[in-house]
Amino acid sequence: MKKFFLLLRFLHYNRSKIFIGIIFYFLSIANCFSQSGWVEYPAITNRVLTDIYFVDAYTGWVIGDSSIYKTTNGGVSWVRQNYNYITSTSLKSVKFLNVNTGFVAGGHHSGYYDFYYQYIFKTTDGGNNWYNIYNVQGSANCFINNIFLIDENTMYITCEGIAGMWATTGGVFKSTNGGVNFNSCVSLGQSNSVVFVNANTGWATAYFAADYGGEKGYILKTINSGLNWFELYKDSLQLATKFNKIQFLNANSGFAIGYRNSKTRFFKTTNGGLVWDTVSYNHTKFNCVFL
């Protein structure tokens, strides 16, 4: 009891000093916490930008309409990196394995009915030099819209296009020689997203639509490095879900986003994709999910 009263007397005579000390403590640590909200940086170009990728808090790349830009200070400033191609390009996806080795991929319509260009560029020195390692000039039936890297040799791409009697084309393709050539993995119409949590286990989206065959939306899974895929989700309603992005945190927890009938659809699974919970929004403003 005596110690308790002594503590009260100490607090009574020193409360002003304690209060001031607490204020200085919180002021001193205020800058240690992340600040809320978004800070807008000056525009780096008037061209359309389509994808961004950071390897750490400071070093990242952004790509788009015939453009590759790099930052080494967290996006405060950007430097344009040069690459060569026979015509203007539309870059869609950028991924890096580390600060030195990375890939950008894309494609565009060739101007001849249902023919497209496809191209992939690689760097091994942080983007100082880019080399065209994959090149289809106008004879493809789709363009590359996404790339996912397992390692420097093994990668997956997804493609989308339209051919013939307005039928979606594309799918998921795999390379085991660093992007020199690719083999088809999934051919259920166009695909927009593929993700792996390890070398064996991955998920992909697909969408088929045609004037003569209605629509179908898919989520697929592989457990043997893309050799075989099985359907986790499929809707074949008159208006099917067109998935834009799929993302998995681990072998169980995953998310996907797409749209159907002018509504955004958000998907979540906690068992590897066997069961999906969905939420719908009355607009199509949401296009991507990243965790």
Are both 116 and 248 inside the same structural domain?
A: no
As a whole number of angstroms, the distance between CA 262 and CA 141 comes to 27
Are both 284 and 204 inside the same structural domain?
A: yes
Arithmetic mean of pLDDT, 242-269: 93
Are both 106 and 201 inside the same structural domain?
A: no
The whole-number pLDDT of residue 285 equals: 77
Total domain count, the chain:
2
Q: How many percent of the chain have pLDDT more than 70?
A: 88
- CB-based contacts of 112: which residues, under 8 Å, 6+ apart? 138
As a whole number of angstroms, the distance between CA 208 and CA 214 comes to 8
Are both 160 and 287 inside the same structural domain?
A: yes
As a whole number of angstroms, the distance between CA 210 and CA 83 comes to 37
The reply to whether 3 falls in a domain is no
The whole-number pLDDT of residue 34 equals: 52
Q: How many percent of the chain have pLDDT more than 90?
A: 71
Position of tokens 């209060």? 19
Answer whether residue 251 shows pLDDT above 90: yes
Are both 80 and 198 inside the same structural domain?
A: no
Are both 285 and 161 inside the same structural domain?
A: yes
Position of tokens 């590359």? 144
The reply to whether 66 falls in a domain is yes
Tokens of 56: 């750490």
CA 234 to chain centre: 22
CA 204 to chain centre: 12
The reply to whether 109 falls in a domain is yes
The reply to whether 20 falls in a domain is no
As a whole number of angstroms, the distance between CA 120 and CA 130 comes to 10
Domain membership of residue 58 as a residue range:
44-140
Are both 165 and 288 inside the same structural domain?
A: yes
The reply to whether 101 falls in a domain is yes
Computed over every residue of the chain, the mean pLDDT equals: 87
Are the C-beta atoms of 191 and 158 separated by less than 8 Å? yes
pLDDT classification of 35: cutoffs 50, 70, 90 = low
How does pLDDT run across 100-135, given as a tens digit for each residue?
999 999 999 998 888 999 999 999 999 999 999 999
Arithmetic mean of pLDDT, 61-78: 96
How does pLDDT run across 176-205, given as a tens digit for each residue?
999 999 999 999 999 999 999 999 999 999
